[in-house]
Structure 1
Amino acid sequence: MAETHVLFVEDDDVIREATQLALERVGFTVTAVPDGLLGLEAFRADRPDIALLDVMVPGLDGVSLCRRIRDESTVPVIMLSARADAIDVVLGLEAGADDYVTKPFDGAVLVARIRAVLRRFGHATGASGETGDEEEQDGALVFGDVEIDTEGMEVRRAGEPVGLTPTEMRLLLEFSAAPGTVLSRDKLLERVWEYGWGGDTRVVDVHVQRLRTKIGQDRIETVRGFGYKLKA
């Protein structure tokens, strides 16, 4: 099996070198660069399996780099931030990041988060729960003008293909497995992001909003104080 290739963009020499060694020690291949422009070059040249991007790097900041990567690829992206600042977190997620980790971080925690994201991307299927009153046509789930091919992992809206990242697909599959059922943010964190402990629910909120822009703002309903549900 080929080793997982990680692109790591971090301008702090000590953090960059220590993290690279920690990732290589558990079997990852790592390309580590100190700024965003070099990160974009490395991404295009190497096509890594996952990108770790520090928010505050010179040349091209991490959020802008994430947007550039997302314009070209659905490769998973984890943002690294020196502070759990709401603006940093939300900007990174809105740019297309799948998750974020706050510095300073424990190497084992970072490895666990990387592996969780990679599992999600390698297995964008398996939403749990029973199906409800949705229509099923030729093996696809249909909700209004949204059609989900759960075998081909494709989504269409009004007949047109919808480009979802694997995280967005997993989120949609969780909703479609139980249409009309309210799913709490904590439950979605557990099922989609594999958080076995309390996580930052902003990750869920931003991804739901991104999903809404792609499948229709009124397709996923907010149930205040409880969570979200897919309209059957």
Structure 2
Amino acid sequence: MPTTAPGEDRTALVVEDDEDIRELIKFTLSTQGFAVTAVDSGTAGVDAVRSLDPDLVTLDLGLPGIDGMEVCRRMREITDAYIVMITARDDEVERLIGLETGADDFIAKPFSPRELKARVNAMFRRPRRGPAIAEPAAVGPNDHEILRHGSLSVDVDGRRAFQEESELSLTRTEFDLLTELMRTPARVWSREALLRAVWDTEWATDTHLVEVHIGNLRRKLGEGSGAKLIRTVRGVGYRMESPV
């Protein structure tokens, strides 16, 4: 049965079939002020996301029945919660595939409560830096910060992004990444600088997070059929391409 600690404002869902790990994650998150619900299967996890609308989900990759990657895909259709994928299989292919399903971060077993806390705190501290680079556009209220770059418009306060007249379906991380790039479009961002700005971490092994999310963002911007809006600067990082 799901168990929830009462009285907290932020909510978290733990989807893990190993009881010991489930209890460890549940306890760790509860000490951070989350009201925690824990379930032991992917199906129960998807149902819990629908009913609880959590702020955070930790999701085991190796679940029985429906595996974690398929569960993540289903969750992404109904929530923009932060999703942390947890797996015992620490190889690069699993990591990249997991993130392409819509996960925001990845932790390999065994992990310490301290590492989990640091990852979660980083996600919930997403800083907003710098002034708007353009006057308000028609995509949001006039008192909202609006960024524009060619065909792209981002309503920072409303957390909505548009390409031409079409709204983009972005995860929280993709939105934050696009916002940082558009704030200073001429800047070449190193992967490490983007880790600090978007993930609030400097762990060198996490640069793959940037690469995967840039790839996902490019696909959603339709770069396969049009001009590249995010340019790779070889050996350095990324910047916005000058609009035509």
Structures share fold, TM-score greater than 0.5: yes
1:1-232, aligned counterparts within 5 Å?
Answer: 2-120=8-126, 126-128=128-130, 131=133, 136=135, 138=137, 140-217=146-223, 218-232=228-242
Q: Check whether the contact 1:36–1:57 (CA below 8 A) recurs between aligned residues.
A: yes
Question: Which secondary structure does the structure 2 equivalent of 1:83 belong to?
Answer: coil
Question: Which secondary structure does the structure 1 equivalent of 2:93 belong to?
Answer: helix
Q: Check whether the contact 1:79–1:97 (CA below 8 A) recurs between aligned residues.
A: yes
Q: Check whether the contact 2:8–2:33 (CA below 8 A) recurs between aligned residues.
A: no
Q: Check whether the contact 1:7–1:43 (CA below 8 A) recurs between aligned residues.
A: yes
Deviation at 1:231, TM superposition (A): 1.3
Aligned residues: 225
Shift of the 127–164 alpha-carbon distance from structure 1 to 2, 3 Å rule, reads: farther
Question: Which secondary structure does the structure 2 equivalent of 1:105 belong to?
Answer: coil
What stretches of structure 1 of length at least 5 have no aligned partner?
A: none
Q: Check whether the contact 1:40–1:65 (CA below 8 A) recurs between aligned residues.
A: yes
CA-to-aligned-CA distance 1:29-58 (integer Å, 9 cap, x gap) = 211112111111222222211100011011
Moved more, 64-73 or 137-146: 137-146
The one-letter code sitting in structure 2 at the alignment partner of 1:127 is R
Shift of the 27–154 alpha-carbon distance from structure 1 to 2, 3 Å rule, reads: closer
Deviation at 1:197, TM superposition (A): 3.2
Q: Check whether the contact 2:88–2:110 (CA below 8 A) recurs between aligned residues.
A: yes
What stretches of structure 2 of length at least 5 have no aligned partner?
A: 1-6, 138-144
Shift of the 32–152 alpha-carbon distance from structure 1 to 2, 3 Å rule, reads: closer
Question: Which secondary structure does the structure 1 equivalent of 2:186 belong to?
Answer: coil
State the distance in 2 between where 1:181 and 1:129 align. 14
Shift of the 161–103 alpha-carbon distance from structure 1 to 2, 3 Å rule, reads: same
Deviation at 1:198, TM superposition (A): 2.0
The one-letter code sitting in structure 1 at the alignment partner of 2:239 is K
Deviation at 1:148, TM superposition (A): 1.9
State the distance in 2 between where 1:3 and 1:209 align. 34
TM-score with structure 2 setting the length? 0.84
State the distance in 2 between where 1:137 and 1:5 align. 34
Runs of 4+ aligned structure 1 residues displaced above 4 Å come to none
The one-letter code sitting in structure 1 at the alignment partner of 2:74 is R
State the distance in 2 between where 1:43 and 1:31 align. 10
Deviation at 1:130, TM superposition (A): 8.3
State the distance in 1 between where 2:72 and 2:23 align. 22
State the distance in 1 between where 2:45 and 2:64 align. 11
The one-letter code sitting in structure 2 at the alignment partner of 1:228 is Y
Identity of aligned residues (%): 39
Coordinate RMSD, CA, aligned: 2.0
Deviation at 1:118, TM superposition (A): 2.4
State the distance in 2 between where 1:92 and 1:84 align. 11
Moved more, 221-230 or 11-20: 11-20
Q: Check whether the contact 1:141–1:150 (CA below 8 A) recurs between aligned residues.
A: yes
Shift of the 137–22 alpha-carbon distance from structure 1 to 2, 3 Å rule, reads: closer
The one-letter code sitting in structure 1 at the alignment partner of 2:241 is K
State the distance in 2 between where 1:53 and 1:151 align. 28
